[in-house]
Structure 1
Amino acid sequence: MSNHRTLLGLFLVSVMVLGIINPAHVLLQADEDNIERANGEEIGFSGQGFLLNKVNKNPSNNELELQRPEITWQATAGGGLMITRAHGCMAHDTTNDLVYLMGGRTDPDPQQSNDESSTNLIEIWNQSTETWSLAQFNMPNAQQYHECVQIGDKIYSMGDWYPDVSPARKSTGQVQIYDLASESWMNNTTSMPPSMEVGNFGMTSIGTKIYIAGGVQNSSGNDATDRLLEYNTVTGIWTELANMSEKRFAFPLVEYHGLLYAFGG
């Protein structure tokens, strides 16, 4: 009997020692990856505004979900634009952390009618100093109701629209390309395909391709389209893709996880 008690005691001691050396969560196998990932995600929420009390577990899929930090607006130290304008386009120079505001529509005297005009002026926002400055170079052509996007070391300024002008003027679908590396405008002959020239559209990019959706061509703005164009910046080829479900203009086009989303208009 004493031998059995001795063996039982040794067995229990070995189990307790094993439990100390190998804690329970280490012995888990099926859910081991999920536990490590959950711990890693929780520990990793250390950025500004990301608080652990904003992390919740979704009961439907057992995933941790983070509430994004609140967004607050504040005035900049450097003041506002140097030139009052509307319907320009903005592009972020990610290399130098500068923002370019290109072209747009100016109104010299808001109290006077029919004195609005498009401009080729450029202002640059310096994030480090929070100030605007007038660029020492202009766009080759004035442009308004257009969109801009940076791809690689180039900024593409695309499209135009001329509402309420006399005589009436249609969109030319112009494309102007600024080379950040050489700090010069390219001698570009590219424009939107014939009869597909538009302005006041939605635009975004995926990789080296630019997508233009909707827009208008006539000064009256009565010809909104549902068309989707793709421009390949490597080959210079335009391709017409599937139409949107609705005709629209004056709306944002956003890329998210490889899908295009058109809002409003």
Structure 2
Amino acid sequence: MSLVDAQIPVLKDQALWSSRDNSSLFLYGGRRASNISLDEKVWKYGVQEGKWKVQETSAVPVRYDGGVDVDVPELQSAYWLGGYQDSSTTTAITDSRRVYATRLVEFNTTTGEIAEFEAPVTPVQDGALVYIPVGEKGLLVFLGGETPSMINGTNATMAVNSWNYVQVYDIASGSWYNQSTSGSVASRTQFCATVQHDPASASYQIYVLGGADYHSQDVVTDVDYLSIPSFKWYNAAGLSEGRMTLSCQAYGRQIFGVGGRLAWADDSDAGCYTMPAFIYDAQSEVVRSAFDPGLMTYSLSSATAADIKASPYPSSWASPALKNLFVSQTNTTSATASPSPTSSSGGGSQSHAGAIAGGVVGGVIGLALLLALGYIFLRRRHRAVPQTEESLPVATGSWEKAELPTSGHTVSEVSGEAAASELESEQPMTRHELAGGNEPVYELDAQGTGQR
């Protein structure tokens, strides 16, 4: 152990993010813990050197408190949403005002650069922000939290956000979606959230642990999880004791809960827990007395798995674009055993699949047309010649073929004289079916966007 340099700010409620190779830690946000001068810089800790230094950025960072964040090492990015500035976060504010954030902050953990993006869900405080590896770069899901009655002012009243919807941010497109949810869940604040993945159902579960009721200020033991892409809430067995303002991190199917308070108070009335951390087994839904490194694989209960299988998607989507992220992802993943593409190639894989499939379909149709025209020509030329075993037969049977996965869209077959629209691609394509022989004709599987 070594003493921390006195110039390093002493903070509360800050975010701590790691670089992709875990060689560096970055300290962002938070409020001062005592009456000391406060800078708004990002601080970097070199793990090998064991030293702190200021991370230089081209944009001036803004220190917020009361926001939510998530670290995504595989993208070399970390994100901060919501929160506010006041006299405990910046020397620029000397009164009791709070100025709420209105943008999403992205921090590159390799270059150390900061960027900000539009966030229609703001202003907001508390709640939770998690990462789901779906789509080209993945999705951020924000749930819970409270919305202030004013962006800049004093004594703002807070409105508790409904848990009947979540906010979904597609990182690749920069689009936000307000997606409705179903199921029963207790509203709360100052909880923690983490994600589990069930490969069998190709679903993700956002686990919400602890917290407190915003109005009654009662600390809760509840554990619930939101299954995605069904966007349905399920209830799990609770914690052995309630905690609020805690942090949690998943390792395999075990969720580590750290810190927090036992009561809604900032002094000794907040209580003192027996252990500063606990382990919640997301699969067996029990609090474990010891960590088991062998419990890595997570799976849903049979009842939840059956319910998801019966209703894998919500009754309505916030946008067709959001639906396509999940439906095409699920279908193409289950339809092919080939390795998932890298993130750099994921954006164009769906349109390439449509082009490949369209080419195959066009080739089959072209061949059928040539055969039909050739047959008509020969039949007219040799009308007087009796048909032999070697003559080309007239196709009277149905054309049996393997259908190409269509990303969840219904395909309606019609006769060869009518146009049948089957595959979605970036450029609409019309194809015409012709009756064929009894021989099966196979179409090429499309390679969809893989999960990272």
Match of 2:132 in 1: 151
- Classify the secondary structure of the residue corresponding to 1:188: strand
- Whether the 8 Å contact between 1:90 and 1:102 is mirrored in structure 2 is yes
CA distance in 1, matches of 2:147, 2:102: 14
**Could you give the per-residue CA deviations for residues 159-213 of structure 1, whole angstroms, max 9, x where no partner exists?**
114799665644533521101232201242238846x112211111112111001
Tell me the amino acid that sits aligned with residue 179 of structure 1. Answer: D
CA distance in 2, matches of 1:239, 1:228: 9
CA distance in 2, matches of 1:77, 1:167: 37
Selected match of 1:182 from 148, 173, 176: 173
- Classify the secondary structure of the residue corresponding to 1:75: strand
Match of 2:187 in 1: 197
**Could you give the per-residue CA deviations for residues 89-143 of structure 1, whole angstroms, max 9, x where no partner exists?**
2234556422221111232764322x325433112212332121222x2233422
Match of 2:219 in 1: 224
- Whether the 8 Å contact between 1:88 and 1:103 is mirrored in structure 2 is yes
CA distance in 2, matches of 1:122, 1:191: 27
Structure 2, unaligned runs of 5 or more: 1-20, 24-46, 149-153, 198-203, 261-452
CA distance in 1, matches of 2:58, 2:144: 29
Q: Cα distance, 1:237 vs. partner? A: 1.2
**Could you give the per-residue CA deviations for residues 197-237 of structure 1, whole angstroms, max 9, x where no partner exists?**
12211111112111001112325x72111100111112111
Match of 2:94 in 1: 111
- Classify the secondary structure of the residue corresponding to 1:262: strand
Percent of aligned positions that are identical: 21
CA distance in 2, matches of 1:69, 1:130: 18
- What do you get for the CA RMSD once the two structures are aligned? 3.3
Q: Cα distance, 1:256 vs. partner? A: 2.1
CA distance in 1, matches of 2:121, 2:22: 42
Match of 1:125 in 2: 107
CA distance in 1, matches of 2:61, 2:122: 20
Change (3 A) 1:129 1:70: closer
Match of 2:206 in 1: 210
Selected match of 1:262 from 249, 257, 260: 257
CA distance in 2, matches of 1:229, 1:107: 33
Q: Cα distance, 1:69 vs. partner? A: 7.2
Structure 1, unaligned runs of 5 or more: 1-46, 50-67
Change (3 A) 1:179 1:75: same
TM-score normalized by structure 2? Answer: 0.38
Change (3 A) 1:87 1:80: farther
Match of 1:83 in 2: 62
TM-score normalized by structure 1? Answer: 0.62
Change (3 A) 1:213 1:129: same
- Whether the 8 Å contact between 1:161 and 1:198 is mirrored in structure 2 is no
